[in-house]
Structure 1
Amino acid sequence: MKKVYTARDIAEIVAAGGDVTAIPTNAVVTPSARDAIREALKKGHTGKATAAAAKPAEPMVPDYEYHWVKGNDPKTPEAIQAFFNSPEIQVLKERMCDMGRRIWARSFCDGNGGNITIRVGDNLVLCTPTLISKGYIQPDEICMVDMDGKQVAGTRKRTSECNTHLAIMKATPEAKSCVHAHPIYATAFAVCGMVPPTCLIPEPEVFLGQIGLAPYETPGTPEMAETVGRLAPDHQSILMENHGVIVWGKDVEDAYWKMENTESYCQTVYVASQLGGMKTYGPQKLKDLMNIRTSLGMPEKRSDWKECELCDNAEFRPGVVCQADTGVINPMNFKPGGKDETEALVQKVTDMIMKQLGS
């Protein structure tokens, strides 16, 4: 005769430190017993949990990186749809929407700006659709493309800029997620065609490395994808001239963090430059931070650089000069903070005004 388990039996198993998941598959379990099992599992009352309690578990670091079996991508339309709607992919879709809300809440994009991707196979990538606010995107609006940009799943049309993300993933297999946005301070640096200086703050050196700068190309074009993709192996954060920022990471949260890191760094540098001079901590200290970065498995292109190259910020020239003869505003020739430079600027502006009044 089959064993019948009641709620009382489950309570006795729990009290004895037994495993409620070890009930024989051919046993009869009453509805109240099933409820008791669910409650026990919620509270961790299993034999495995009891054994684990004797020895505290090792502290862990959350890891959201998606791992797939190489060569095992779904091939038929039916298999692709089943994979696209599977519980594991649903989790990633929800995480993409969460990142979209964070981007929008931080004012990193306006209108339908920005886009997000996650690689989920040898030839499959989840991406946000075109013409949608990242602050209100829903999981069922996410779509999926192959590595050539062809849409293979989803009811919304894929973003036109996903080819730039795909170029990064092709050039850098470690790039399993990309985030593109238009954060104000970092985009201002991109508009000026300059990257923020180094050797100022530890965190950007560890989590970003050297920030790249890609020459302007029309968004969504093959030229833009090629230009950005070429920089990706050496730079996890890339300023795109006159456009915005694109970053990559091992998962979508890792990539999004790098967007926050980039914007915060550019904002801090901008504010510091207005205070009249910035103090660096030197190349030897930077080497310490680079070692931390490589120990975390992140790419570091500066490992073989000479010390004189590591903190070379000679090209960083914040501030503006108004040239009276042409009216051109040149953001590269004036360095704020010095009394002589400030007085010279005031004198130029005064002379220009007096000349206009005299005429």
Structure 2
Amino acid sequence: MKFIDSKFMRDICNVTKQSYDNGWDERNGGNISIRITEDELKDFDDVKEVKRTFDLGFDAKEVAGQYFLVTGTGRYFRNVISRPTEDVGLVKITEDGKHADLHWGYEDGAKPTSEFPTHLMSHIARLKTDKNQRVVMHCHPTNFIAMSFTQTLDEKRLSRILWKMQAESLVVFPEGIGIIPYMTPGTNEIGEATAAKMSEFKVVMWPHHGIFAVGSDPDETFGLIETVEKAALIFTTIQAQGGNILQDITDEELKELAQAFGVTANSKFLK
């Protein structure tokens, strides 16, 4: 069986296309990684050989031996569906944790996204609280980014705004939203700051830049971002209509939502 025909490749092609079509990934903005187990790869004959090796620039020993399907640096999400063997690669973290071996893809010489260390740090952080953690996705949702310019960068305030925009918000991200300060992307420092937030949140805002989100599969992770951005769009629309909110979802109603759907809302963010 060829890896190009795998569910993982269908998923990454579908998610990157939809994300680009939504306007979240201009030019080469955005990246995604999916953790894949060795057992899930056993039937693919074309992933056995190591083709190249990359330096990670940090110690990822905690996920040594793990495979990750990851988009390439400088590559456009809109092209992944038409040129997947060039724009996506399957890598395995070496036992020393400092390198990644390429087993499939990047056929024209590409490398993993410059955000790959940040992805790995987030995978490591989330696996400590969620053994089903599989996906990290970064993109640039327009309305969510806009809120980082006009709203106080306060996790409680931002989470409450987004929760109150639609009933789905609390159900999909009951932990709320994590926020880091503005930082230069592609550095270990921003990766460490993001991973620290991932111990508590599934969504982290990069102010004036974008979003980092995690999940158990591509659909769940994409749906999480989609829900956050829809809430931000509703808020933006309200502001465009004058910003005068006459009624909203109350804290009591938020608590009722959490109970009805069996989720635990972040008690620090509820009154």
Asked if Structure 1 and Structure 2 have the same fold, meaning a TM-score greater than 0.5 normalized by the shorter chain, the answer is yes
Q: CA deviation at 1:149?
A: 7.0
Residues 255 and 265 of structure 2 are in contact (CA less than 8 Å); yes or no, is this contact kept in structure 1? no
- Cα distance in 1, alignment partners of residues 100 and 29 from structure 2: 20
- Structure 2 counterparts to residues 303-322 of structure 1, below 5 A: 304-305=267-268, 309-310=269-270
Q: 1:116 to 1:288 in 2, by over 3 A?
A: same
The number of residues matched between the two structures is 219
Q: CA deviation at 1:159?
A: 0.2
In structure 2, which of residues 108, 115, 137 is the aligned counterpart of residue 179 of structure 1?
Answer: 137
SS in 2 for 1:245: strand
SS in 1 for 2:199: helix
Indicate the residue corresponding to 1:234 in structure 2.
200
Residues 205 and 286 of structure 1 are in contact (CA less than 8 Å); yes or no, is this contact kept in structure 2? yes
For residues 90-137 of structure 1, the C-alpha deviation after alignment (integer angstroms, 9 at most, x for no partner) is 320221011110011111110011001101135221110111110111
| TM-score, scaled relative to structure 2 | 0.73
- Structure 2 counterparts to residues 170-249 of structure 1, below 5 A: 170-173=124-127, 174=130, 175-192=133-150, 194=153, 195=158, 197=161, 198-209=163-174, 210-249=176-215
SS in 2 for 1:257: helix
Q: 1:167 to 1:241 in 2, by over 3 A?
A: same
SS in 1 for 2:78: coil
Matched, 1:152 2:101: yes
Structure 1 stretches of 5 or more lacking a match?
A: 1-81, 312-359
Q: 1:149 to 1:101 in 2, by over 3 A?
A: farther
Residues 212 and 238 of structure 1 are in contact (CA less than 8 Å); yes or no, is this contact kept in structure 2? yes
Indicate the residue corresponding to 2:222 in structure 1.
256
Indicate the residue corresponding to 2:85 in structure 1.
140
For residues 220-277 of structure 1, the C-alpha deviation after alignment (integer angstroms, 9 at most, x for no partner) is 1111011111111322221111211111111011111111111111111111133332
Structure whose residues are more often strand by fraction = 2
Matched, 1:281 2:249: yes
| TM-score, scaled relative to structure 1 | 0.56
- Cα distance in 2, alignment partners of residues 186 and 176 from structure 1: 24
Indicate the residue corresponding to 2:46 in structure 1.
none
Matched, 1:112 2:79: no
Indicate the residue corresponding to 2:59 in structure 1.
none
Residues 234 and 301 of structure 1 are in contact (CA less than 8 Å); yes or no, is this contact kept in structure 2? no
Residues 121 and 195 of structure 2 are in contact (CA less than 8 Å); yes or no, is this contact kept in structure 1? yes
- Cα distance in 1, alignment partners of residues 12 and 260 from structure 2: 28
Residues 118 and 178 of structure 1 are in contact (CA less than 8 Å); yes or no, is this contact kept in structure 2? yes
Q: Which amino acid aligns with 2:179?
A: L
Q: CA deviation at 1:87?
A: 7.1
Q: CA deviation at 1:293?
A: 5.3
For residues 32-52 of structure 1, the C-alpha deviation after alignment (integer angstroms, 9 at most, x for no partner) is xxxxxxxxxxxxxxxxxxxxx
Q: CA deviation at 1:290?
A: 2.5
